[in-house]
Amino acid sequence: MNTRWKPSVTVAAIIEREGRYLLVEEETPEGLRLNNPAGHLDPGESPEQGVAREALEETAFAFRPTALVGIYLSRFQRERTGEDITYLRFAYCGELGDFDAHRTLDTGIVRTLWMTPDEVRASTDRHRSPLVLRCIEDHLAGQRFALETVHTDLSVFQAR
């Protein structure tokens, strides 16, 4: 039997304000972990739409992506279950919009935190993946790609 390998596609918001980065503390099977506002790309949406949605759901801030920071591939093996997952992450930076104080954060999100790069570096043992710091380091290094680097064909938006 031939099984096709399918990585999980995720999007992440790399949000910086006044030298601090917005992270979320979230419940995971491995305990409380720190992550960039991030999540899985949903059917029928572009990566840009997905990252705006995830940022809003996890932080209650509106977010408008303005540049692609990078595309990342990583593998995670869950110790308890042996589950083996490969993630393909599209990370975007952009403009932070309004905060909705009445919005309930996504299930599993405990709180948001603004952390300096040094605080993020000092907390790697609590990161959900090595990509948390890598995306921030790439952002700090000025890595930016045009949004047009990622093309979403119109067929993605067509009803099934």
- What's the mean per-residue pLDDT of the chain? 95
Can you tell me the distance from the alpha carbon of 128 to that of 118, in angstroms, rounded to the nearest whole number?
17
Q: Would the pLDDT of 95 be above 80?
A: yes
* Alpha-helix runs per DSSP H in 7-130: 47-59, 117-122
- What dotted CATH number matches 8-147? 3.90.79.10
Residue 1 pLDDT class (50, 70, 90 cuts):
low
Q: Is the pLDDT of residue 81 over 90?
A: no
Where does 15-158 show beta strands of DSSP type E? 16-17, 20-28, 31-35, 38-40, 61-77, 84-99, 109-115
For the chain, give every domain's residue range.
Answer: 8-147
Average pLDDT of the segment spanning 19-36: 96
Would you say residue 78 has pLDDT above 80? no
**Cβ atoms of residues 28 and 132 within 8 Å:** no
